[in-house]
Amino acid sequence: MSWSWRLKVIVFYTIISVVMTSFFVLFCIPVQFIGAPYSWRYKMSEIFSYIFIYLIWVICGIKFETEGVDKLPQDAKPYIALANHQSFWENFFMQLIIPKHSWVVKQELLDIPIFGRCLKTVRPIAVDRRNSRSVVQIIKEGERKIDDGISIIMFPESTRVSVDKTVSFKVSAAKLALNAKVPIALIAHNAGLVWPKGFWFKQQGTVKVKVIEVMLPEEFANQDARELTLYIQNTINLEKNKLAELGV
């Protein structure tokens, strides 16, 4: 890894840290203090995500291209978006293509200084993966948010997975979709090729993101959760492998 590349990464993290701290002081604290509505909180997180993706593009040369985004529901009704998880990049990028939504995240993220406090402002579904009742929590809170018109984004792998590996998907997403009777958008990407798990970006390049398909509730109403999960797993894994072969 060249020193020029290391310098670019350090510059990016320095600038994004300043931006995040500024957001925390100028917006997150006041918003929590005055009890601002969710729409305000969400708009702040959306703006930050755009800034993050723009800076990582300009400073580090990590760009993106999309395919099939026009398949996503356009009627403003909530749905569940499911994607593979390889990097921290997609946490921010998904905000660019999915309308008002909430995340299912691991509880530990809320403990990260500044970032965790900012994340709390948008009230994600934060679960302890060690808790056997986490699926019940996801379904209960997920249905409540969907009833409020908020889409849900989930990574069924439950953790970041290397580009060359696959793991079994969790059934919680399928159970939520079956209970809430909302569409499921299946998405794949190859972000792990440029930013694998860890601090350092691996290389510059163009992340490829594909919306594979959108499944309507009536299309999977007669399936059980495990059968639906297996279909989701096979579909996303097949496409993510194709994108990995394309490179960046």
240, amino acid identity: K
DSSP letter at 182?
Answer: -
Can you give the pLDDT at residue 114? 73
Can you give the pLDDT at residue 52? 95
User: What are the tens digits of pLDDT across the range 66-96?
Assistant: 999 999 998 889 999 999 999 999 999 999 9
User: What are the tens digits of pLDDT across the range 11-69?
Assistant: 999 999 898 888 777 777 777 777 778 788 888 889 999 999 999 999 999 999 999 99
pLDDT above 70 for 1: no
Q: Which residues contact 239 (CB under 8 A, 6 or more apart)?
A: 186, 188, 210, 212
Would you place residue 179 in the very low, low, confident or very high pLDDT band (cuts 50, 70, 90)?
very high
Question: CA nearest 41: which of 127, 104, 125, 101?
Answer: 101
User: What are the tens digits of pLDDT across the range 212-235?
Assistant: 999 999 999 999 999 999 999 999
For residue 90, what are its two tokens? 């997609």
CB atoms within 10 A of CB 176: 25
The Cα 247–Cα 171 span in angstroms is 30
**Mean per-residue pLDDT, 160-179:** 95
- The lowest-confidence range among 47-61, 123-137, 162-176, 185-199 is 123-137
**Separation of CA 114 from chain center:** 19
Higher local confidence (pLDDT), 207 or 114: 207
**Mean per-residue pLDDT, 171-200:** 95
**Mean per-residue pLDDT, 113-133:** 79
Q: Which residues contact 208 (CB under 8 A, 6 or more apart)?
A: 64, 65, 67, 189, 190, 243, 246, 248
Average pLDDT, the chain: 91
User: What are the tens digits of pLDDT across the range 134-143?
Assistant: 889 999 999 9
